[in-house]
A = this chain, B = another copy of it.
Amino acid sequence: MNLNEDEIVKKLAKNSNGFIGDDSAILRSLDSEQYVITKDLLIENIHFRTSYFSAKNLAHKALHVNLSDLAAMGATPKYILCGIAIPDNSAAYAQEFLENLLRLCIEENIILIGGDTTKSPDKISISITAIGACNPENIKYRNSAQNDDIICVAGFLGYARLGLFVLENNLDLGTYYKNFCLEPNAKIKEGQWLSKHKSITSMMDISDGLYIDVKRLCESSDVGAIIDLDKLNLDQQFVEACKLLKFDPTQVALSGGEDYSLLFTVKGSKFKEISNSFFNTFKYELKPIGKTISSKEISFHKQNKPIELKLTPFTHFGEKL
């Protein structure tokens, strides 16, 4: 089976509300909102393997990795463009990927407005551009944390990394952690909710691991941080799974990437209110994992005392699958 670009475009065009079919897609003007835009690549054998990522898994992940960047700004996803480079022997997989992507878009009320399909010599390469809209007053940035804010996480830490390890080594640990790796869910609703609160001083998503992303947020904001290891709030099941695999759960929680949880800072005086209100809305607890400090360093505390920790952070360029 070989894919024909015109055929794909025609098929997608039917569901694009008139967007697809020309050289460029038109973004309708917004009255009181602003567009935000992001782009992420997914490369075969770097970000995924077709041996354990079904086309459905991959469509979910490719979409949500991008939606997570929109969530981190507090935006509502509106449009995507999808570029995909397809080796001859992956045509059926690519077709199924595009069908699933389209289905997810329809479910999420997102319009696929354009893209590019092309041949690839041997690996699948996917590039999604996602566009969201938000009220300019509510947009949250990563460079606006202030000294003495509470650093919070909404979502899991290290679960996707554990899942990746299980998948890579074909271990028998059930589907629970694997699913965090295969189909992470962008925290769109949480991002929108948090963005409406003035007391949230900064926000970003955690794509490369808590430690490295706290570092990025702090560098952007010109502050430092103390991460309180007792507040990572790792549940017993996760701790036991880590131990079974001979991992230190704290290290996995700090370094494991791709959970797409939200990292944000909140004014200390408002934390309790935000935390309660968040729990009432989303039915899970925020994790207040530390606080910002004026000194530019990132350090760790355990039982209220400083502790030395050596971490090997997950980075795209250094990663080993």
| Complex contact A41–B116 (CB within 8 A) | yes
22 A-B contact pairs sorted by A residue (CB < 8 Å): A2-B317, A4-B315, A22-B72, A22-B141, A22-B142, A22-B204, A22-B220, A23-B38, A24-B132, A26-B37, A26-B73, A37-B81, A37-B114, A39-B115, A40-B116, A41-B125, A43-B120, A44-B121, A45-B121, A46-B120, A118-B317, A125-B127
| Complex contact A143–B22 (CB within 8 A) | yes
Task: Report if A129 contacts B (CB, 8 A).
Answer: yes
Task: Report if A205 contacts B (CB, 8 A).
Answer: yes
Q: In whole Å, how far is A162's beta carbon from the nearest beta carbon of chain B? A: 22
A216-B113 Cα distance, complex, nearest whole Å: 18
Beta-carbon contacts under 8 Å, A298-321 to B: 315-317, 319
Interface residues on chain A, number (Cβ under 8 Å):
68
Q: In whole Å, how far is A219's beta carbon from the nearest beta carbon of chain B? A: 9
In-complex Cβ contact of A83 among B22, B37, B40, B68 (8 A): B40
Q: In whole Å, how far is A62's beta carbon from the nearest beta carbon of chain B? A: 12
Residues 99-131 of chain A: 1 if any B CB is under 8 Å from the residue's CB, otherwise 0?
A: 000000000000001111111111101010111
Task: Report if A193 contacts B (CB, 8 A).
Answer: no
A26-B137 Cα distance, complex, nearest whole Å: 12
Q: In whole Å, how far is A168's beta carbon from the nearest beta carbon of chain B? A: 15
Q: In whole Å, how far is A259's beta carbon from the nearest beta carbon of chain B? A: 15
Residue of B nearest to A220 (CB): B21
Task: Report if A283 contacts B (CB, 8 A).
Answer: no
In-complex Cβ contact of A41 among B24, B27, B85, B132 (8 A): B85
A83-B72 Cα distance, complex, nearest whole Å: 19
Q: Which residues of B contact A220 (CB under 8 A)?
A: 21-22
Task: Report if A254 contacts B (CB, 8 A).
Answer: no
Q: Which residues of B contact A85 (CB under 8 A)?
A: 41, 43, 46, 125
Q: In whole Å, how far is A123's beta carbon from the nearest beta carbon of chain B? A: 6
